Amino acid sequence: MDFTYSEEQEAVRELAGRIFSERSTHERLRQIEAAGADEGPFDRELWGELANAGLLGIHLSEDVGGAGLDFVAACLVFQAAGRTAAYVPVVETMVYGAVPIAEFGTDAQRKTWLPGVANGETILTAALAEMAGEVILPGGLNPATVATAQADGSWLLNGTKACVPAAYVAGAVLIPAARTAADGTPDGTGVFIVDVVSDGLTLTRQTTTTGRPEAIMELADVGVPSEHQLGGDRADGAAMVTLMTEYATTALCMLEAGACAAALELTAEYTKTRVQFEKPIATFQAVGQRAADAYVDTEAIRLTAWQAASRLSAGLPAASEVAVAKYWAAEGGQRVVHAAAHLHGGVGVDRDYPLHRFFLLTRQIELTLGGANESLRRLGRILAAEPA
C-alpha cells in the first residue's frame, strides 16, 4: 500500500496542520472550555477559518462548492484536528452528514445541504445508536426507530436515539429508521434528514468526560417531508448506514491517530527535560521501553487507519481493514495515552497541562467505536464468512 501523498494532499496536510496548530493552542482551548454553554465547547472562529480555507468541503465535488479531492484529503484534516484536540465537529459534519448525502443524495438534496457544509454555514451529524430501555445499542442496520409513511408522501418518525454527537450545534441530523408503509407493511430501512428544531424532537444532554456533550434524541411523531428521505423512496438505506459506519469509523481512527501522535510528542519532550538522579528520565531503560511500546501502538493506529482510508477513497471493499483500524484505535490508543500519563507522573493529570485532553478524547473515541473486543468479534465474523 502506497501512503505517499499527492501534491494536492500534501498541500492539504500543510494547510490543515498550520491552521490547527496556530488556532487551536492550549490557551485557546482553555478559553473555549471556560466559555462553553449548554451546546458544549465549540470554536466557531476556527470553524470559520477552516471554511475560508476550503477544508470543510475538501472532499466534496466542485459543483457544490467543494475542492473535488478525495477522502484521503479529508482524513488529513481529521488527523490535524486530533493533534490539537480541537473543538470543531469536523467528523460529524464532513463524514456523518456530508459523505452519505454526497454519495446517495438526490441532486436537490446535494445542492440543498452540501454548499452549506463547504462554506461552514451548515453543521450536520447522524444518529446511529439506539436506546432500548436503559441499554444503548450501537449501529443502525436494524433500527428500532420507525418511519411511518403518510398519505401525502411524508413520514412520521418515532423512536429514541442515543449518543448523538454535536447534536446541540448541528442544524440537521441523519436518522436511520425502519420504514413502514401506511398499511403497516415493513418496507426496509431509510435514512431521513431531520431538522433538529422539528416539532416532536427533544434533546436530552448526555454529559461526557471530555466536555463534548452528546444527546439522547427522542422523536415523537416528528414530521419529515418526502424530499428529506435521503436518496428518495427506493434508496437502499442499509447500504447508506454501512457506508456511514465505515467512513465514520475510519475518520474517528484518523482523529485518534492525531491525538496519540500529539500525546507521544508531549511525552518525548517531557522525558527529555525531566531530570531525576541528575539524569533525564528518557535515559532510563524502563521509561525508554514504555515509550517505545507507545510509539509502536501509535504507528499501528496510524497505518491501519490510512489503509482503511485509502481503500475507501479508491472505492474498494474495506470492511476488514476498517475493523482492524477500529481495533487498533480502541486498544492501542488506550495504551498510548496511559503510557503518556504514567511517564509524566503527576503532571499527566494536571488540567493546566494539555495531555489530559488527548487522554479524554481517546477515551471518548474508544467508547464511540465500541471497544476492542467488539472489533475483534466483527473481524472474526468477516474472516469466517470468507470462502476457504
Cell numbers at residue 341, please?
A: 500519563
User: Which tens digit of pLDDT belongs to each residue from 35-70?
Assistant: 877 778 999 999 999 999 999 999 999 999 999 999
Give the end of a domain, one of 217, 235, 253: 235
- 166/259 same-domain check: no
How many domains, the chain?
3
pLDDT band (50, 70, 90) for residue 184: confident
pLDDT at 1: 57
Query: CA of 225: how far to CAs of 44, 82, 156, 193, 240, in Å?
Result: 30, 37, 9, 9, 19
pLDDT at 336: 96
- 58/23 same-domain check: yes
Is residue 257 within 8 A of residue 303, CB to CB? The reply is no
Give the end of a domain, one of 91, 122, 153: 122
pLDDT over 70 at 143, yes or no: yes
Question: Smallest Cα–Cα separation from 230: which of 125, 107, 71?
Answer: 107
Residue at 2 is within a domain: no
pLDDT over 80 at 342, yes or no: yes
User: Which tens digit of pLDDT belongs to each residue from 191-231?
Assistant: 999 999 999 999 999 876 677 889 999 999 999 999 999 99
pLDDT at 3: 66
pLDDT at 275: 79
The rounded distance, in Å, linking the Cα atoms of 122 and 193 is 13
pLDDT at 75: 98
Domain CATH for 56: 1.10.540.10
Give the end of a domain, one of 122, 149, 176: 122
- 270/352 same-domain check: yes
- Does this model's pTM top 0.75? My answer is yes
User: Which tens digit of pLDDT belongs to each residue from 272-283?
Assistant: 888 788 888 888
pLDDT higher for 139 or 305? Answer: 305
The rounded distance, in Å, linking the Cα atoms of 332 and 342 is 15
The rounded distance, in Å, linking the Cα atoms of 46 and 30 is 14
- Averaged pLDDT score across all residues of the chain: 92
pLDDT over 70 at 136, yes or no: no
The rounded distance, in Å, linking the Cα atoms of 322 and 378 is 10
315-322: average pLDDT? 93
User: Which tens digit of pLDDT belongs to each residue from 356-372?
Assistant: 999 999 999 988 887 77
pLDDT at 388: 63
The rounded distance, in Å, linking the Cα atoms of 276 and 156 is 66
Which alpha helices (H) appear in 129-276, and where do they start and end?
A: 237-273
Domain extent, residue 104, equals: 7-122
Surface-to-core class of residue 257, CB atoms within 10 Å of its CB (0-12 exposed, 13-18 middle, 19+ buried) = buried
- 191/216 same-domain check: yes
pLDDT over 80 at 134, yes or no: no
Q: Cα torsion for 60, 368, 324, 335, to the nearest 10°?
A: 120
